[in-house]
Amino acid sequence: MIKVENLHKHFDKLEVLKGIDYEIKEKEVVCVIGPSGSGKSTFLRCINLLEEITNGAIYIDGVKVNDPKTNINDIRTEVGMVFQQFNLFPHMTVLDNITMAPMLIRKLSKPEAEKLALELLDKVGLRAKADNYPQQLSGGQQQRVAIARALAMKPKVMLFDEPTSALDPEMVNEVLDVMKQLALEGMTMVVVTHEMGFAREVADRVVFMDGGFIVEQGDPEQLFGNPQNERTKAFLGKVL
C-alpha cells in the first residue's frame, strides 16, 4: 500500500535520507526505531510530503505522491499523522478540533461530524472532554484527542512520530493502549517510537534506521532477539 523507492532527502547540503527502499502492506504495523538524528522523522514526514522529497519516489495505493500532477491535499486526507507535540488547535474545543477537517474537506454536515467525533472520543475514552479546550487536558489526553482528530478523516494509513516521547511516564500507556486497539482493528500504521516493548508486542515488522539508511528490518522476534547487523546490536544493547 505504501511503496518507497530509493528515497533521498537533503536539507541543503546535509543528506539525511540516503536511499530508502521499503514496502508497507495493508493492515501492517511497522515500527521504526533508531538513534536520534538517524532520519526517522524525516522518513515519516516524506510519506505525506511534509518534507519535500529530493530524489526517489513514494507511492500510496499506486499513486506517486511526489508527482507534480498529484494533488497533495488529497493524499494527505488519506494519511493521518500524529505528532510528538500533539499540535492540537488551542483556540478550538476538543470537539471542534475533531470536526473541523471532516466538515471542511469531507463536507460532512455539523451533526454528522459531531456524531463521528463523539464516537471517536468514546473510542479513546474522552467523550466527557468534548467541550474542553486542549489546555485543560493532560498530555496523554491531548494525544488521544490528536489520534481521534486524525482518525476522523478516515485515513487509510496512520503515521505516528514518537507519540509518547513528550509524555510523563504515567501517561504513556493510555496512549499506547489506544494505538494497540487501532492495530487490532486492522489499521495500517507506521510508528516511530522509542517504546521497544510496544514495538515488540504490536509491530508486524520493525525497521532499524541509522545514518539515513535502513540498516536492518524484520519481524520483532528476529530483530530484537537475533539482530544481524553490528549497529543494530549496539543500538539495542543501549536501549533494551
Partner 1 sequence: MDFLELRWDIIWNYRELFLRGIWITILLTISGYVGGIILGVLIGLGETSKKKWIYWPSKLYVDLFRGTPMLVQILIIHLAFIPAIFGQSYGFMVSGITALILNCAAYNAEIIRAGIQSIDKGQMEAARSLGLTHSQAMRKIILPQAFRRMIPPLGNEFIALLKDSSLVTVIAANDILYAAKVVAGAYNRFWEPYLVAALLYLILTYLVTKVVAYVERRFSNSYNPRKKKEGRVAS
Ligand X SMILES: Nc1ncnc2c1ncn2[C@@H]1O[C@H](COP(=O)(O)OP(=O)(O)OP(=O)(O)O)[C@@H](O)[C@H]1O
Where on the chain is the footprint of ligand X (CB under 6 A)?
11, 14, 16, 34, 36-42
**Nearer CB in complex with Mg ion: 41/99:** 41
The cell for 28 is 501492517
DSSP 211: T
| 63 belongs to the binding site for partner 1 (CB under 8 A) | no
Nearest approach in angstroms of CB 53 to ligand X is: 14
> Rounded to 5, what percent of the chain is helix, strand, coil?
40, 25, 35
Closest CA to 133 of 100, 86, 96, 92: 92
**Nearer CB in complex with ligand X: 34/155:** 34
Tell me the C-alpha distance between 144 and 155, whole Å.
16
Torsion over CA of 163, 168, 170 and 175, rounded to 10 degrees? -20
Q: Which of 35, 127, 133, 166 binds partner 1 (CB under 8 A)?
A: 133
| 129 belongs to the binding site for partner 1 (CB under 8 A) | no
- Partner whose footprint covers residue 187, from Mg ion, partner 1, ligand X, none (CB < 5 to 8 Å by kind): none
Q: Which of 8, 15, 50, 127 binds partner 1 (CB under 8 A)?
A: 50
| 88 belongs to the binding site for partner 1 (CB under 8 A) | yes
| 40 belongs to the binding site for partner 1 (CB under 8 A) | no
| 175 belongs to the binding site for partner 1 (CB under 8 A) | no
Closest CA to 200 of 29, 44, 36, 40: 29
Q: Which stretch binds partner 1 (CB under 8 A): 7-15, 90-98, 207-215, 228-236?
A: 90-98
Q: List, in sequence order, every residue forming a beta bridge with 73; answer none if it has no partner.
A: none
216 CB-near residues (< 8 Å, 6+ apart): 207, 208, 223, 227, 228, 229, 231, 232
Q: Which residues bind partner 1 (CB under 8 A)?
A: 48, 50, 73-74, 76-77, 79-81, 83, 85, 87-92, 100-101, 104-105, 133, 135, 146, 149-150, 153
